[in-house]
């Protein structure tokens, strides 16, 4: 298929999640890249227009640049299935599982894939108990948000109540997770099934050790190392683990998985999977693609080319 056979393409951006601001940045980048390649692409914000307009206006594919709830959680994917419009990224089931960090960790654990110890909590008291069992430091975060929104690194029991309250502002499901001290890394995956492949691993180094929302998107002090300068063979081994984790969730098209490497044991631990990764100027998938010799527009085209439906036969 040539790059001009995509028809009328909607770049879904914005939306109603807590990550709307980042989604608009991602979407604008994707939109301009597709237009530069001769694609008939248009911005479409589901917070401002009903999805039924996609069918009415003749859109034939959707590039999902939405992040978080109502965009990365299977809901918009389900709507597009009903409309019969192929879309980028994972399908309904994989999207809904991957956005839920607890469900993701249960599946990975069942497959023998290492992920930090965790507890789901429903109160400040339960958070204190989790801290006593998981140890310090402990991460407290919403189970179904991204971009470190609502996240707290807890180092003392008296911080638990505020950490729980902050996470609970964003989600009724709150996750307490063992903190792994070591190298923070991320690996992007392109493709589906056994044809899925990893892009170069990126090691993230933050001067103050706090890779929060601000440091992710709006500062230039965070270092992204690619090549990651890991011990020989380690990147290849982590890449295989990431592919196993990607396939375990039945992801397709593309995703980015975050991995912590324990400094003492060098054991990699899977943190989460992002099925609609960021595409901003600070985003990591474009950075990994560039390291692999893939330009931003070429990356957008490859992702768009993978657009599909779970139930294409019924569409």
| CB-CB neighbours of 200 under 10 Å | 18
| Residue 223 neighbours by CB under 8 Å, 6+ apart | 204, 205, 206
* 256 counts as catalytic: yes
Q: Which residue has the tokens 């192929």?
A: 86
Q: Which of 61, 75, 69, 74 is nearest to 30 (CA)?
A: 61
Instruction: Please give the Cα distance from 66 to 63 (Å, whole number).
Output: 9
From the list 95, 96, 274, 283, the catalytic residue is 274
- Catalytic residue status for 217: yes
Q: Which of 235, 278, 296, 310 is catalytic?
A: 278
Residue 293, number of CB atoms within 10 A of its CB: 8
State the DSSP string of 200-237: PPEEEE-TTS---HHHHHT-S--EEESS--PSTTHHHH
Q: Are 297 and 36 in contact (CB under 8 A)?
A: yes
Nearest-angstrom CA–CA distance, 11 and 214: 25
Of 74, 91, 217, 253, which residue is the catalytic one? 217
Annotated active-site residue in 15, 17, 19, 235: 19
Catalytic residue, from 23, 96, 147, 215: name it: 147
Task: Tell me how far apart the alpha carbons of residues 159 and 153 are, in angstroms, rounded to a whole number.
Answer: 9
- The token pair that represents 139 in the structure block: 């991460």
Active site residue 147: yes
Is 272 marked active-site?
A: yes
At how many degrees (to 10) do helices 234-248 and 101-110 cross?
Answer: 110
295 catalytic, yes or no? no
Active-site residue, from 14, 177, 256, 283? 256
**C-alpha–C-alpha distance, residues 107 and 117, integer Å:** 13
Provide the annotated active-site residues: 19, 147, 217, 256, 258, 272, 274, 278
């Amino acid at each position: 298929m040539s790059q001009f056979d995509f028809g009328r393409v909607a770049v879904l951006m914005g939306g109603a999640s807590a990550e709307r601001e980042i989604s608009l940045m991602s979407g604008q980048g994707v939109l301009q890249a597709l237009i530069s390649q001769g694609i008939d692409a248009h911005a479409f914000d589901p917070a401002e227009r009903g999805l039924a307009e996609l069918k009415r206006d003749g859109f034939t594919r959707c590039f999902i640049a939405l992040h978080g709830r109502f965009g990365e959680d299977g809901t918009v994917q389900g709507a597009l299935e009903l409309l019969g419009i192929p879309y980028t990224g994972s399908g309904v089931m994989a999207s809904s599982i991957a956005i839920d960090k607890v469900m993701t960790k249960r599946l990975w654990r069942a497959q023998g894939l290492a992920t930090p110890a965790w507890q789901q909590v429903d109160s400040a008291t339960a958070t204190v108990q989790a801290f006593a069992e998981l140890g310090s430091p402990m991460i407290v975060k919403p189970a179904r948000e991204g971009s470190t929104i609502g996240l707290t690194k807890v180092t003392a029991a008296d911080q638990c109540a505020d950490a729980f309250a902050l996470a609970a502002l964003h989600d009724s499901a709150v996750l307490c997770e063992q903190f792994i001290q070591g190298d923070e890394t991320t690996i992007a995956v392109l493709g589906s099934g056994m044809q899925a492949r990893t892009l170069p691993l990126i090691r993230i180094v933050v001067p103050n050790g706090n890779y929060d929302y601000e440091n992710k998107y709006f500062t230039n002090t965070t270092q992204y190392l690619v090549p990651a300068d890991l011990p020989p063979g380690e990147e290849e081994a982590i890449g295989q683990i990431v592919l196993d984790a990607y396939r375990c969730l039945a992801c397709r098209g593309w995703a980015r998985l975050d991995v912590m490497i324990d400094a003492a044991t060098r054991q990699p631990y899977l943190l989460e999977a992002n099925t609609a990764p960021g595409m901003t100027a600070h985003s990591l998938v474009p950075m990994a693609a560039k390291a692999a010799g893939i330009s931003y527009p070429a990356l957008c085209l490859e992702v768009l080319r993978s657009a599909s439906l779970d139930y294409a036969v019924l569409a």
